[in-house]
Structure 1
Amino acid sequence: MDRYADIRQLMLITDDDPATAAFYRSCGLRSLDQTHGIGFIRYNFAS
């Protein structure tokens, strides 16, 4: 994470798995519901 210290926002999209979430929390990331942020996504699985 030190490499990205000067970047204001870093977003990661990953699977909803408790072990995965725990790993990213241990790296200092928080889920959007724990912040004042909001996120949007649109999947296109037809491609």
Structure 2
Amino acid sequence: MECILDRSLWYLTVRVDSELIGLVRVVGDDCSIIYIQDLLVDPRYQRQGIGAELIRRTLEQFSHVRQIVLVSDKEPAITAFYRSVGMQPIEQVGGVCFVRYAREV
């Protein structure tokens, strides 16, 4: 985990006592594009607003960036969550997304 955090543009953690319970991690150029690479919340703490607050702070931190991109699983609950924090499916903004995985997932 240390390697990916060191190579990130920015990240924010949430801890209870010293236990890590939430993390948002951003990669990108901090000018024209960033990728919200990870949003992780311990299942015991989900549905308490932690993920939404991590996204809110990320959007605030990078409000100067033209494109904020996030790729996630296409599950109804996940899609609903990201819509609730102001993200839109790329089709709604006239875009298309392409992906190439180095190995089969």
Alignment TM class, shorter chain as reference: 0.7 to 0.9
Q: Which has the higher contact order (CA 8 A, sep 6+)?
A: 1
Q: After TM superposition, where is structure 1 displaced by more than 6 Å over at least 4 residues in a row?
A: none
Corresponding residue pairs, total: 46
Gaps in structure 2 of 5+ consecutive residues: 1-58
**Other-structure match for 2:102:** 44
In structure 2, how many angstroms separate the alpha carbons of the residues matched to 1:37 and 1:4? 21
Structure with bigger strand share is 2
**Unmatched tracts of structure 1, length 5 or more:** none
Percent of aligned pairs sharing the same letter: 37
CA RMSD of aligned residues (A): 1.3
Deviations 1:1-31 (A, max 9, x none): 2111111001111111111111111111100
